[in-house]
Amino acid sequence: MKANIKHNSKNYTIDLSRPLDISIPITGKDTNVNAWYVGPPKIGPHTEGDFIGKVTEGASTNFNDISFNPHAHGTHTECIGHITETFYSVNKSLTKFFFLAEVITIAPEKIKGDFVISKKQLQYALGNKNREALVIRTIPNIKDKMSRQYAHTNPPYLLESAAQFLVDRGVEHLLVDLPSVDKEKDGGALLAHKTFWNFDGERRFQATITEFIYVANSIKDGKYLLNLQMASIENDASPSRPVLYSIEEL
């Protein structure tokens, strides 16, 4: 199934029959992707008295309880409420769900002992393109990103200047295949988060950051339509399912 859309005075055709899911699901297994020093998520039948919510245990339905942390256990989308004293919900911040996106691949460079994504790398990868959303795939890109245990591993992150570059280029929705855009242990500085949301200026309440994606190697760098799907939960972050669609300019 194909559809035609118009965006910024340009016409595109989209193949809706070929969605490219770049999310990591939440499972109830110990091998679930994990960060931030918490245990794995739990998915299991609700129990109450003699009742066990599982068909194989005699119940009429499967009736599971689920316990997880959206920041630690899979693909999630967050808003500025992640770092503010005042409560802001990503469910209220994200009110549009389709965006023109660019997928880029970057090999984080080593600076002062850390692997980082720099402004120079983003400038080179984006060129003169202007996109509402940016999807960053880091290399090496292997499937163990779907189950990696990130605690105490100091994963790659964005430099403050890189985040500022994205703000200056008008990127409102940033998606990364990392547990955070910031350094794992930074003493609470959160420089990339604060810069991307312009925390100390006119705050960008509409902007979102999506972490813990996985972009398969079969997905080429380039322009896509992004459908940023998200569970309707009133929280600073919610589990999400970003889906890309290949597009062609007419």
- Nearest-angstrom CA–CA distance, 87 and 101: 28
Number of structural domains, the chain?
A: 1
Phi, psi of 181 (to 5 degrees): -80, -10
pTM of the model: 0.96
pLDDT, tens digit only, all 250 positions of the chain: 777 877 777 788 898 899 999 999 999 999 999 999 999 999 999 999 999 999 999 999 999 999 999 999 999 999 999 999 999 999 999 999 999 999 999 999 999 999 999 999 999 999 999 999 999 999 999 999 999 999 999 999 999 999 999 999 999 999 999 999 999 999 999 999 999 999 999 999 999 999 999 999 999 999 999 999 999 999 999 999 999 999 987 6
Whether residue 180 is contained in a domain is answered as yes
Whether residue 9 is contained in a domain is answered as yes
Q: What is the CATH number of the domain that holds 191?
A: 3.50.30.50
Q: Which domain holds residue 161?
A: 2-24+72-249
Whether residue 38 is contained in a domain is answered as no
Whether residue 58 is contained in a domain is answered as no
